A and B are shown apart, each in its own frame.
Chain A
């Protein structure tokens, strides 16, 4: 498996777009985490002297301020942190669910597998986004509900892929050897099956994160996601859209951040997929 990683890394390095995207992503994450240290303005402080002021490198507020006088740079960085946090946590949730579900289905096989796959089929046919909106209407806009429902978006594809990989691995000799030596089903799954399906899982994980960030921003934009006082990039963009004519930078700054983040994640994910999957040539 080590050679697979080395081979993939080499191919990835020869893809300038993906490498660039990787650095951009890392840069944005670093900025979101460490940026506030360089910014004298807090995200909550209201600067009454500079309400809705334009961005200017000389002034106290590099990216300007919003309607309430809050420093836009600080707010955007915080929004980025929130979006990233939701993205990573929700992705982790959906990945664990998906991987477990798929591994079990693929390993146990038979009618259990068949039933589990039917469930996925039915769920795939539903417009989950609408259901999530429906749920927020019913159960209110709690943030834990948000995490769960966003996580519910990504696990289907991952489950399918993991199941496919598990099915093909199950038939190979070393699994038979493990079974013969008396290892239990659970142990086999954890120790043997999972390490061998890491490859495609990583690829789809990198593609799931932007999907989930996109979904969360979508909900927040509509007002159904992250609530005040927290703000994700989605909420900031919604604010900005309302101020478009008078103060366009309130839209452009968080919008630009989100666009660049999603673009970089997608390009990197694509590059990773090309590097790991030889058939894509």
Chain B
């Protein structure tokens, strides 16, 4: 198992390297960008840049310094917020986004799998068609349409939940954003689970389990669930990507102070270092998730595990 993990890790590092290097050279190539000598910037920012990047040194030395700084988690100074470094901003925003994203992911799994299983068990019934139609809607309609709609419905017409804003520790403010964020992955997971469960329920070993007189819940939970969920495990990495993308929109609309909102603000403000830092963070997260999912997959399927 360990060897498998290490090989996968080794495969992921070049990708990360490419991203980091691309980011470095792209920024320096930007016309009218921060490193363009024509640029007139406030003196404080200029001073920050000089000290952080050593702009008068040859490019390869700068690259080396850049890599070194990254290894220490230093993303450089922010372009717009004079007093903050990118690392600090990330540190502030990350816990919020993490909370939002993990609750959404958990919700997608906790609701998606049972819904898909239910639809499979009641194949071709009205309930089946109804749930799968809702799933199509969940996938097709973008988050930035769903969240305002939900806000309109629950925040303005019925005044149940706050539409935007955030207080530390508040749950009410998280409800609508989490629901909007979880909806697309939830729908995909429900559809995947249903399709796989239908197939697994037709397999010979499920027939054997039924013939053994085991009650339905045992047959499903103990015999059918694992094989049915394997493909769902493969979906986890794209699901995380979907949630990360969605968080940009959700945090912006709902005014949640997470890194998603910083990213969007940074893009609008042309805060190069901030956006670069975000891109690297998001890419790293995604690659890590890919690794975790691979490991999960290997653990779930004993045939894969024993071959390693």
Contact A244 B151 (CB under 8 A): yes
| Given A244-B163, A245-B156, also A134-B276 (CB < 8 A) | yes
| Given A240-B148, A259-B145, also A140-B32 (CB < 8 A) | yes
- Asked if B287 lies at the interface with its beta carbon under 8 angstroms from chain A, I say yes
For window 10-57 of B, CB contacts with A under 8 Å fall at: 12, 14-15, 18-19, 23, 26-27, 29-33
Which residues of B sit under 8 angstroms from A263, Cβ to Cβ? 136-137, 140-141
| Complex: chain A residue closest to B137, CB-CB | A263
Contact A127 B282 (CB under 8 A): yes
- Asked if A48 lies at the interface with its beta carbon under 8 angstroms from chain B, I say no
Contact A137 B272 (CB under 8 A): yes
Minimum distance in angstroms from B306 CB to a CB of chain A: 26
Pick the interface stretch among B82-90, B108-116, B165-173, B244-252: B244-252
- Given the complex of chains A and B, what is the CA–CA distance between A251 and B153 in angstroms? 12
Contact A258 B282 (CB under 8 A): no
For window 249-308 of B, CB contacts with A under 8 Å fall at: 249, 252-253, 263-264, 266-268, 270-272, 275-276, 278-279, 282-283, 286-287, 290
| Complex: chain B residue closest to A248, CB-CB | B152
- Given the complex of chains A and B, what is the CA–CA distance between A210 and B283 in angstroms? 25
Contact B266 A210 (CB under 8 A): no
Which residues of B sit under 8 angstroms from A238, Cβ to Cβ? 144
| Given A241-B148, A244-B151, A245-B156, also A136-B267 (CB < 8 A) | yes
| A203-225 contact mask (Cβ, 8 Å, vs B): 1 or 0 | 00000001000100110011110
The count of residues in chain B whose C-beta lies closer than 8 Å to any C-beta of chain A is 51
| Given A127-B244, A138-B26, also A266-B139 (CB < 8 A) | yes
- Given the complex of chains A and B, what is the CA–CA distance between A224 and B268 in angstroms? 7
Which residues of B sit under 8 angstroms from A241, Cβ to Cβ? 144, 148, 253
- Asked if A103 lies at the interface with its beta carbon under 8 angstroms from chain B, I say no
Contact A127 B137 (CB under 8 A): no
- Given the complex of chains A and B, what is the CA–CA distance between A223 and B268 in angstroms? 7
- Asked if B81 lies at the interface with its beta carbon under 8 angstroms from chain A, I say no
| Given A127-B245, A241-B148, also A137-B139 (CB < 8 A) | no
For window 78-133 of A, CB contacts with B under 8 Å fall at: 122, 125-127, 129-131, 133
| Complex: chain A residue closest to B244, CB-CB | A127
Minimum distance in angstroms from A37 CB to a CB of chain B: 28
- Asked if A255 lies at the interface with its beta carbon under 8 angstroms from chain B, I say yes
| Complex: chain A residue closest to B156, CB-CB | A245
Contact B156 A137 (CB under 8 A): no
| Complex: chain B residue closest to A210, CB-CB | B140
Contact B156 A134 (CB under 8 A): no
- Asked if B162 lies at the interface with its beta carbon under 8 angstroms from chain A, I say no
- Asked if A270 lies at the interface with its beta carbon under 8 angstroms from chain B, I say yes
A122, A134, A258: which contacts B18 (Cβ < 8 A)?
A122
- Asked if A262 lies at the interface with its beta carbon under 8 angstroms from chain B, I say yes
Minimum distance in angstroms from A218 CB to a CB of chain B: 6
- Asked if B93 lies at the interface with its beta carbon under 8 angstroms from chain A, I say no
| Complex: chain A residue closest to B27, CB-CB | A138
Contact B267 A133 (CB under 8 A): yes
- Given the complex of chains A and B, what is the CA–CA distance between A263 and B18 in angstroms? 37
- Asked if A31 lies at the interface with its beta carbon under 8 angstroms from chain B, I say no
- Asked if B161 lies at the interface with its beta carbon under 8 angstroms from chain A, I say no
Contact A130 B282 (CB under 8 A): yes
| Complex: chain B residue closest to A221, CB-CB | B144
Contact A134 B279 (CB under 8 A): yes
Contact A125 B290 (CB under 8 A): yes
Contact A262 B141 (CB under 8 A): yes
Which residues of B sit under 8 angstroms from A210, Cβ to Cβ? 140
| Given A125-B290, A222-B249, also A244-B148 (CB < 8 A) | yes
Minimum distance in angstroms from A143 CB to a CB of chain B: 16
- Asked if B5 lies at the interface with its beta carbon under 8 angstroms from chain A, I say no
- Asked if A28 lies at the interface with its beta carbon under 8 angstroms from chain B, I say no
| Complex: chain A residue closest to B281, CB-CB | A130
Which residues of B sit under 8 angstroms from A129, Cβ to Cβ? 245
- Given the complex of chains A and B, what is the CA–CA distance between A138 and B266 in angstroms? 11
| A228-264 contact mask (Cβ, 8 Å, vs B): 1 or 0 | 0000001001101100110010011001001100110
- Asked if B241 lies at the interface with its beta carbon under 8 angstroms from chain A, I say yes
Which residues of A sit under 8 angstroms from B23, Cβ to Cβ? 134
- Asked if B4 lies at the interface with its beta carbon under 8 angstroms from chain A, I say no
| B129-163 contact mask (Cβ, 8 Å, vs A): 1 or 0 | 00000001101111011001101100010000001
| Complex: chain A residue closest to B286, CB-CB | A127
Minimum distance in angstroms from A265 CB to a CB of chain B: 8
- Given the complex of chains A and B, what is the CA–CA distance between A237 and B148 in angstroms? 9
User: Which 6 residue pairs across A and B have the least CB separation, nearest first?
Assistant: A138-B30, A266-B140, A263-B140, A241-B148, A259-B141, A262-B140
Partner-A contacts on B (CB < 8 A): 12, 14-15, 18-19, 23, 26-27, 29-33, 136-137, 139-142, 144-145, 148-149, 151-152, 156, 163, 241, 244-245, 248-249, 252-253, 263-264, 266-268, 270-272, 275-276, 278-279, 282-283, 286-287, 290
Partner-B contacts on A (CB < 8 A): 122, 125-127, 129-131, 133-140, 210, 214, 217-218, 221-224, 234, 237-238, 240-241, 244-245, 248, 251-252, 255, 258-259, 262-263, 265-267, 270
19 A–B contacts from the bound complex (CB under 8 Å): A130-B245, A130-B279, A137-B267, A137-B275, A138-B26, A139-B31, A218-B142, A218-B245, A221-B144, A222-B267, A244-B152, A244-B163, A248-B152, A248-B156, A258-B141, A259-B141, A262-B141, A263-B136, A270-B136
